[in-house]
A and B are shown apart, each in its own frame.
Chain A
Amino acid sequence: MNDSIIFHIDVNSAYLSWEAAYRLQHGEKVDLREIPSIVGGDESKRHGIVLAKSIPAKEYGIQTGESVYSARQKCPNLTVVPPNYERYMKASNSMINLLNEYSPCIQRYSIDEVFLDMSHIEDKDFLNTAYEIKERIKKELGFTVNIGISSNKLLAKMASDFKKPDRIHTLFPHEIQEKMWPLPVEKLFMVGSKTQKKLNGRGIFTIGQLAKLDREYIYSWLKKPGILIWEYANGIENSQVRNTSNSLKSIGNSTTTSYDVSDRREAHMFLLALSEMVAMRIRNIEQMGRVISISIKDENFFSCSHQRKLDAPTDSTKVIYETSKKLFDEIWDGKPIRRFSVSISELYSNEFFQLSLLNSYNQKEENLEKAIDKIRYKYGYTSIIRSCFLHSGIKPIIGGVTTEEEYPMMSSII
Chain B
Amino acid sequence: MKILMKPIEMIAWFNSKEKPIPLRYRIVDENNTYKVIKVDHVIFTKEEKIAGNRMIFYRCKSKINNSEKIYELKYEIDTCKWFLYKI
A residues adjacent to B (C-beta < 8 A): 17-18, 21-22, 24-29, 87, 90-95, 140-143
Cross-chain contact A26 with B5 (CB below 8 angstroms) = yes
Please classify the interface of chain A as helix (H, G, I), strand (E, B), loop, or mixed, using the class held by over half of its residues.
Answer: helix
- Residues of chain A within 8 A (CB-CB) of B83 are 26-27
Cross-chain contact A27 with B50 (CB below 8 angstroms) = no
Nearest residue in A to B4 (C-beta to C-beta)? A27
Contact of A24 among B49, B50, B52 (CB under 8 A): B50
B residues adjacent to A (C-beta < 8 A): 3-5, 48-53, 55, 83, 85
- Residues of chain A within 8 A (CB-CB) of B55 are 25
Additional pairs, 8, CB under 8 Å, beyond known A22-B50, A26-B5: A22-B53, A25-B51, A28-B5, A29-B3, A90-B53, A93-B52, A141-B50, A141-B52
Cross-chain contact A91 with B3 (CB below 8 angstroms) = no
Cross-chain contact B85 with A142 (CB below 8 angstroms) = no
Closest Cβ of chain B to A86, distance in Å, is 10
- Residues of chain B within 8 A (CB-CB) of A17 are 51
Closest Cβ of chain A to B48, distance in Å, is 7
- Residues of chain B within 8 A (CB-CB) of A95 are 52
Closest Cβ of chain A to B79, distance in Å, is 11
Closest Cβ of chain B to A264, distance in Å, is 44
Closest Cβ of chain A to B87, distance in Å, is 12
Closest Cβ of chain A to B13, distance in Å, is 24
Contact of A140 among B3, B5, B49, B85 (CB under 8 A): B49
Closest Cβ of chain B to A9, distance in Å, is 15
**Which are the 6 A-B pairs with shortest beta-carbon distances?**
A27-B5, A94-B52, A142-B50, A90-B52, A21-B51, A91-B52
Cross-chain contact B51 with A22 (CB below 8 angstroms) = yes
Cross-chain contact B50 with A25 (CB below 8 angstroms) = yes
Cross-chain contact B5 with A141 (CB below 8 angstroms) = no
Cross-chain contact B48 with A25 (CB below 8 angstroms) = yes
- Residues of chain A within 8 A (CB-CB) of B51 are 17-18, 21-22, 25, 87, 90-91, 94, 141-143
- Residues of chain A within 8 A (CB-CB) of B3 are 27, 29
Closest Cβ of chain A to B45, distance in Å, is 16
Given known pairs A27-B3, A27-B4, A29-B3, the reply for A92 and B52 (CB within 8 Å) is yes
Nearest residue in B to A25 (C-beta to C-beta)? B50
- Residues of chain A within 8 A (CB-CB) of B53 are 22, 25, 87, 90-91
Closest Cβ of chain A to B73, distance in Å, is 12
Closest Cβ of chain A to B68, distance in Å, is 24
- Residues of chain A within 8 A (CB-CB) of B49 are 94, 140-141
Give Cα distance in the complex from A13 to B4, angstroms.
28
Give Cα distance in the complex from A91 to B52, angstroms.
4
- Residues of chain A within 8 A (CB-CB) of B52 are 18, 90-95, 141
Closest Cβ of chain B to A277, distance in Å, is 26
- Residues of chain B within 8 A (CB-CB) of A93 are 52
A-B pairs with beta carbons under 8 Å apart, 17 shown:
A17-B51, A18-B51, A22-B53, A25-B48, A25-B53, A25-B55, A26-B5, A26-B83, A27-B5, A28-B5, A87-B51, A87-B53, A90-B51, A94-B49, A95-B52, A140-B49, A143-B51
Give Cα distance in the complex from A28 to B83, angstroms.
13
Give Cα distance in the complex from A27 to B85, angstroms.
7
Nearest residue in B to A140 (C-beta to C-beta)? B49
- Residues of chain B within 8 A (CB-CB) of A143 are 51
Nearest residue in A to B54 (C-beta to C-beta)? A94
Give Cα distance in the complex from A287 to B25, angstroms.
54
- Residues of chain B within 8 A (CB-CB) of A24 are 50
Give Cα distance in the complex from A26 to B86, angstroms.
11
- Residues of chain B within 8 A (CB-CB) of A91 are 51-53
Give Cα distance in the complex from A24 to B53, angstroms.
12
- Residues of chain B within 8 A (CB-CB) of A141 are 49-52
- Residues of chain A within 8 A (CB-CB) of B50 are 21-22, 24-25, 141-142
Give Cα distance in the complex from A143 to B48, angstroms.
13
Nearest residue in A to B85 (C-beta to C-beta)? A27
Nearest residue in A to B52 (C-beta to C-beta)? A94
Closest Cβ of chain A to B76, distance in Å, is 9
Give Cα distance in the complex from A56 to B49, angstroms.
26
- Residues of chain A within 8 A (CB-CB) of B5 are 26-28
Closest Cβ of chain B to A58, distance in Å, is 21
Give Cα distance in the complex from A91 to B49, angstroms.
9
